Amino acid sequence: MDQIRTIKGTHDILPPNSIKWQKLEKIIYQTCKLFSFKEIRTPVFEKTDLFSRSVGELTDIVSKEMYSWEDRDGTNLTLRPELTASVVRSYIQHNLQSHSPIQRLFYIGPIFRRERPQKGRQRQFHQFGVEAFGSDNPEQDAEVISLAWHLLSKLNIIDNITLKINSLGSPECREKYRLALKDYIRPHLSTFSETSNVRFKKNPLRILDSKNANEINILKSAPPISNFYTSEDKNHFKSVLSFLDKMKILYKVRPQLVRGLDYYTKTVFEFTSKDLGAQDAILGGGRYDNLVKTLGGKPTAGIGFAAGMERFLIALESKGFNFENEAPDIYFVCIEKEAIGLTLALTKKLREKDFSVIIDPMRRSMKAQLREANKFGAKIALIIGDSEIKSNSIIIKDLTKNSQKTCPQSELFNFL
Ligand code: HAM
For residue 325, name the pLDDT band (cuts at 50, 70, 90): confident
pTM: 0.93
**235 and 360 assigned to the same domain:** no
Answer yes or no: do 122 and 239 share one domain: yes
Range of the domain at 107: 17-170+230-318
Which residue's CA is the closest to the ligand 1 atom numbered 15? 308
CATH code: domain of residue 118: 3.30.930.10
Q: Is the CB of 306 under 6 A from ligand 1?
A: yes
Whether the CB-CB separation of 62 and 56 falls below 8 Å is answered with: yes
Distance, CA of 83 to CA of 205 (rounded, Å): 23
Burial class for 221, CB neighbours closer than 10 Å (0-12, 13-18, 19+): exposed
Q: What is the DSSP string of 327-352?
A: PPSEEEEE--GGGHHHHHHHHHHHHH
Tell me, using a 6 A CB cutoff, whether residue 129 lines ligand 1.
yes
Instruction: Check if 283 has its Cβ closer than 6 Å to any atom of ligand 1.
Output: yes
Length of the chain: 416
* Closest residue to atom 13 of ligand 1, CA basis: 308
- Give yes or no: residues 293 and 334 share one domain: no
82 lines ligand 1 (CB under 6 A): yes
The verdict on residue 271 lying in a domain is yes
Q: What is the pLDDT of residues 229-273, one digit of tens each?
A: 999 999 999 999 999 999 999 999 999 899 989 999 999 999 999
Question: For position 203, what pLDDT does the model report?
Answer: 86
Inside any domain, residue 193: no
For 113-117, the CB contacts below 8 A with 24+ separation are 113/61, 113/65, 113/66, 113/81, 114/9, 114/64, 114/65, 114/66, 114/67, 115/9, 115/65, 117/8, 117/9
Ligand 1 centroid – CA 52 distance (Å): 17
Best probe residue, ligand 1, of 82, 144, 165 (max atoms within 8 Å of C-beta): 82
| Residue 402 confidence (pLDDT) above 90 | no
The protein residue with its alpha carbon nearest to ligand 1, atom 16, reads: 121
Which among 298, 318, 338 is the end of a domain? 318
- For the domain that residue 376 is a member of, what is the CATH number? 3.40.50.800
Measured from the Cβ of residue 44, the count of other Cβ atoms closer than 10 Å reads 15
Cα-flanking dihedrals φ and ψ of residue 159, to 5°? -55, -40
Indicate whether 85 belongs to any domain. Answer: yes
Does residue 308's CB lie within 6 angstroms of at least one atom of ligand 1?
A: yes
pLDDT tens for each residue of 285-307: 999 999 999 999 999 999 999 99
Ligand 1: which residue has its CA nearest to atom 11? 308
Q: Is residue 251 part of a domain?
A: yes
